């Protein structure tokens, strides 16, 4: 099993931001408590954000799987 790194998470996050063409509602990676999560900024100044997976901070491997599935969903939606 291949090790998942923060760089792997950042690469997928970059793809998510690119696919959604987001500026105001950009997605960002956050690390705390030994885990990671992805937040989406809701307002322009970034003071209000939501945990898009609603799972709190989790392992890099679990978050990587969630992010890849999310990205694939975005791409599929764009095709239809």
pLDDT of 78 higher than 80: no
**How far, in Å, CA of 71 to CA of 67, rounded?**
6
Q: Which residue has the higher pLDDT, 80 or 52?
A: 52
Q: pTM of the predicted model, to two decimals?
A: 0.88
**How far, in Å, CA of 72 to CA of 57, rounded?**
21
What are the sequence ranges of the domains in the chain? 6-71
Per-residue pLDDT tens over the stretch 9-53: 999 999 999 998 876 568 999 999 999 999 998 877 767 889 999
Per-residue pLDDT tens over the stretch 61-72: 999 999 999 999
């Amino acid at each position: 099993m291949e090790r998942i790194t923060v760089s792997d998470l950042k690469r997928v996050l970059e793809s998510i931001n690119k696919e959604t063409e987001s500026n105001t509602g950009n997605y960002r990676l956050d690390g705390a408590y030994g885990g990671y999560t992805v937040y989406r900024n809701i307002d322009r100044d970034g003071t209000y954000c939501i945990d898009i997976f609603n799972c709190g901070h989790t392992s890099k491997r679990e978050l990587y799987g969630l992010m890849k599935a999310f990205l694939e969903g975005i791409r599929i939606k764009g095709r239809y």
